[in-house]
Structure 1
């Protein structure tokens, strides 16, 4: 393992985050705080409790997951796209750094940013609503798995994109709608039976459900199935990335 090479890339990516704190950290925290104010206050007046959990506290896991998914994709895709755009990707490919070492550095940095953001939002949420974490180790596990997996997915998007506008297509048109339709603000039990079945094909449902179980012990889907779903998606992303480096697809063009 080329530890010096991995650390250099990781440190460079993390330094970019601290140079753009307003965009990377402060803006997502403010946006999520507005969700707490608007949905927690407005909807909380109508929906008092869900499965015995106050509505304001019920949406905390969903909002944290929304921020993590979005930021993981954005950070990882931008991190690998910039070397492609500037032409420095060839220096990376010719350096004594293996594909797994480059992946660890880029994905590790993107996941670190997302985990940091998720923890900040978790602390910020306490200013608006009281909540509890029934299973803290499971909560940390889902936080890590989700950040890493969607950073891997974001890495794939960054390699695939051939323009800045494409970096926003998947997060804006696919991930964000899937998150809103994945039970962030409501339990699946409030949907008609047909739409409950359709919603089970939404992969984000399993992430939010498992993450919420870690907080309150209530879930729309078994926590075991949720862990299996995120693990399977992670494995699929790793296989695709291994193929990308093996063939040079969109890297050497």
Structure 2
């Protein structure tokens, strides 16, 4: 059984950066069994209705401006998997979660940028899923939990977003993590590691500096979705944590576990 993971996607330039976090993502992909397919929730696909990509050849979407030309030359030609898309739809419907297939949606950088680092050969089929920032934290957890059985089918469930993600508080001249950002992530880590679901779903009320760390919920939602996907196991482990520009958290959380645990590099 594969774990579910939350991965921070940082800025779009993550795909061409070289540092401890990108090295970690490369090693992470090699440390787990190669999945048959990937299901990924991206913070950059917002929809009031749960959408499931069903395109066989999803396009690479460049949903950003002002970055290096190298980024716009990247293609991530992973194929879709219609059978898996229909299976995801069925799992949602069984839990009363309204959803629909979308055969036009490509892969935004919240999906392809980390996958480009982890699986650069683009040979693993990918099904992208939308997020609805207007849902409650409990609802996000429930959506993730609906897909938990996919882990037993060697499908890798990923949530791509950010825990501390406030672009207005970034300091490009000072990489030292800001205290408020550190305190939020430390609180979050304590609750996740003890699977304190009651606290997590009320993070906006209980966490220190929640308004600063999560000014809008779309980047935090993928964490809750990946968290929920391991509801049957309820184990959480922080595999990597670092910061960029003082207030952009780069972290990776593993939820659930494998039958044969392997060594994860911190």
Note whether the superposition's TM-score is higher than 0.5.
no
Pair member with larger Rg: 1
TM-score, normalised via structure 2 length: 0.27
TM-score, normalised via structure 1 length: 0.28
- Say which structure is richer in strand: 2
- Tell me which of the two structures has the higher relative contact order, counting C-alpha pairs closer than 8 angstroms and 6 or more residues apart: 2
- Say which structure is richer in helix: 1
